[in-house]
Amino acid sequence: MFLWIAFNAAYATEIDDAYKESEQVTFKRFLQKLLKLDGKGRFERLVWDEFSGNIRVLLDNHFAFYDFWSFHNGRLEEEQWKERFAKANSGAKRALEQRQTDVVLSIVLARIYALRNQLLHGGATWNSSVNRDQVRDCGNFLGKLVPLIIEVMMDNPKTLWGDAVYPVVK
């Protein structure tokens, strides 16, 4: 949870409602900016060398897919969530094959967001055996990703990152 808060603090900016985009578009633009500024290939190494196996396991896990829970809660038919899962995984597989780091990171963060929602909304309890592998793997991934994001941001202090949504006010 703390790592997600740190990630959210890094990418969230105050945007006039007239120009507001979806959360996914905001994620993707932020990640593209980071990747462009990362001249050392750190994000690529993280995705392709260090976590490629964990990422593939996460992508195959329907419990980390938002539409599965929409089905489970009666908002989608079983066929709908399964079609969306297959389509999403087909897109993810294509992104993996083409080494599209920004797309893969965006998909992974969407899956982690679904897991985050499970935890935040009571879908897992302390010392439970439910979701432990996903929580561990996603925690390890965020534990490497968040410091890397902050490092790239600090390496580029002249880059416009946007105004803080909730700045410190006295």
Query: What's the pLDDT tens digit per position in 8-17?
Result: 778 766 544 5
Q: Are 148 and 43 in contact (CB under 8 A)?
A: yes
Instruction: Judge residue 138's burial from the number of C-beta atoms within 10 Å of its C-beta, 0-12 exposed, 13-18 middle, 19 or more buried.
Output: buried
The rounded Cα 65 to chain-centroid distance in angstroms is 12
Count of alpha carbons within 13 angstroms of residue 75, beta-carbon side: 6
pLDDT digits (tens, 9 = 90+) for 65-118: 999 999 999 999 999 999 999 999 999 999 999 999 999 999 999 899 888 888
- Whats the size of the chain, residue-wise? 170
What pTM value is reported for the model? 0.84
Kindly list the distances between the CA atom of residue 168 and the CA atoms of 7, 58, 163, 164, in Å, as whole numbers in the listed order.
18, 36, 12, 9
pLDDT in tens, 126-152: 677 777 888 889 999 999 999 999 999
> What is the distance between the alpha carbons of residues 50 and 45, in angstroms, rounded to a whole number?
6
pLDDT of residue 10: 80
Burial 38-69 (b: 16+ CB within 10 A, else e): beeebbeebbeeebeebbeebbebebbbbbbb
CA distance linking residue 71 with residue 125, whole number of Å: 22
